[in-house]
Homo-oligomer: A and B are copies of this chain.
Amino acid sequence: MANGRAHTWQDIHERIKRNIINLTWPPGELIPGEVELAQEYGCARTTVNRALRELAATGVVDRKRKAGTRVAKQKTRQVRAEIPVIRTQVEAQGAAYRFQLLENKIKQPSKAIAKTLNIKASEVALHIRSIHYADELPFIYEDRWINVKTIPKIKQVDLAQTSANEWLVQHVPFTSGEFVIQAQNTNKKLAMALGLSVDEAILTSTRTTWLESKSVTTVTLKYSPGYQMHFEI
């Protein structure tokens, strides 16, 4: 080794990151090329490439052919979270999980839902509403529409036994999706269902998933007040 220690890509990654953190290479700075770094660290260019690729993936550096690699000016910061199945989430808190199916009916959706699922206004979809409990306390209110044309098999599933959430995650893959979070006030109906007072602030997430060009499902989850969603940076 031309310069200390091991030369795994993780190690090279670590060293480069250190140079960025301690401002040896400040934001915007052009850092040495792969060949030079390989010489410096006494490893192959492939290894440096791997390290830099990972740094680029997490947004620490920007890379461009011919132009080289420079430290990102960090205009944006990426946050990430793993959204587990509701049951897992409840059980991870050490609470007992139970869910109650409020509705399970194939019917004509509202115009807004039809548009979201990209189906004709005259077509039908499966509407599911349920409440998920943690230790018998309402935890999440679920309002879901499933495109039965995309997932015809869903009609044979006993959704009182296995929650739609869980069944879909385990049986239906998707190719793309969107996830939106917002804060909403409880209305009278929801407050009643979850045992809350009216106008409490609750966190709402809406997820829509697609299998190639066909919509799979769109679901809105309303979390009980005080719920925190954690992300990593």
Question: Does A23 lie at the interface of the complex (its beta carbon under 8 Å from any beta carbon of B)?
Answer: yes
Question: Does A33 lie at the interface of the complex (its beta carbon under 8 Å from any beta carbon of B)?
Answer: no
- Copies of this protein in the assembly total 2
Contact B184 A183 (CB under 8 A): yes
Question: Does A122 lie at the interface of the complex (its beta carbon under 8 Å from any beta carbon of B)?
Answer: no
Beta-carbon nearest neighbor of A171 in chain B:
B27
Known: A27-B170, A231-B180. A83 touches B74 (CB 8 A): no
Interface string of A193-233 (1 = CB under 8 A from B): 00000011111100101011000000000010111111111
Interface residues of A in 48-84 (CB under 8 A from B): 59, 73-84
| Minimum Cβ distance to chain B for residue A208 (Å) | 9
| Main SS at interface, chain A | strand
CB-defined contacts of A175 to chain B, threshold 8 Å = 21
In this complex, the member of A27, A171, A233 whose beta carbon has the largest number of chain B beta carbons within 10 angstroms is: A233
Other A-B contacts than A176-B233, A181-B203, 10 sampled, CB-CB below 8 A, are: A74-B173, A75-B169, A77-B177, A178-B233, A180-B229, A181-B229, A182-B227, A183-B225, A185-B199, A199-B201
